[in-house]
Amino acid sequence: MIDLNNVDLVHHLVLYECDQTVKFDDNNLPDGVCDDYYREFSHCLSNTATVWEVGGEEIVEFPTEAGYPVGGDFGIKYYVIEMHYNNPKLIPNRRDNTGIRFYIGKELRQYDLGYLAFGTSSNALALTIPPKVDQFIVDSYCPSEFSKVSYYFQ
């Protein structure tokens, strides 16, 4: 849900699922600018649950036969929403109410949704673009066991 007053400001948002081993104090969860909590969030920035960015369509309902697993026996407890803004005119005192609304169903869907990324890991330190270059090469390696279906869906 992009705040209509800030269509020019919102650049993208990412919802990450934290690693299953992450433990937070549920009575004092981190809240604020991600840079202030990078150490706490370091195990929460590699698995993308959903993403939206400028030029993309609005995030719509999932197909009826598929859903994103949450709760129950699913091991992920914590999620992090990361918002990025672009304010090239440096307009001060902007406030934003952009966010995501989730509807949790009681019936399991036939298929689980997820994301698969190739090329580099999805985190702030994964890819550095060299300054003042017209092009550059990113070499990647994907072990063969990662492409085995049973590896992902156990």
pLDDT of 122: 54
**pLDDT digit string, tens, across residues 130-145:** 788 898 877 766 677 7
Backbone angles phi, psi at 92, to 5 degrees: -80, 165
Distance CA 59, CA 13 (A): 11
Of residues 50 and 11, more confidence is placed in 11
Backbone angles phi, psi at 84, to 5 degrees: -120, 140
**pLDDT digit string, tens, across residues 58-117:** 666 678 888 887 877 777 888 888 888 888 889 899 888 888 887 787 888 888 877 666
Q: Which residue has the tokens 């969030």?
A: 41
Mean pLDDT value across the chain: 77
The whole model's pTM is what? 0.66
Q: Which residues contact 2 (CB under 8 A, 6 or more apart)?
A: 10, 52, 58, 98
pLDDT of 150: 44
- Cα 60–chain centre separation: 16
Q: Give the pLDDT mean for 6-24.
A: 85
pLDDT of 151: 39
pLDDT of 29: 82
Q: Is the pLDDT score of 37 beyond 60? A: yes
Sketch the domain layout of the chain as residue ranges. 1-119
**What one-character-per-residue DSSP string does 16-65 give?**
EEPPTT----TTS---S-GGGGHHHHTTSSSEEEEEEETTSPPP-PPPTT
Pairing of strands 10-17, 66-67: unpaired
Q: Which residue has the tokens 């997820």?
A: 114
**pLDDT digit string, tens, across residues 120-133:** 555 555 667 778 88
For the chain, the farthest-separated pair of C-alpha atoms sits apart, in whole angstroms, at 52
pLDDT of 116: 66
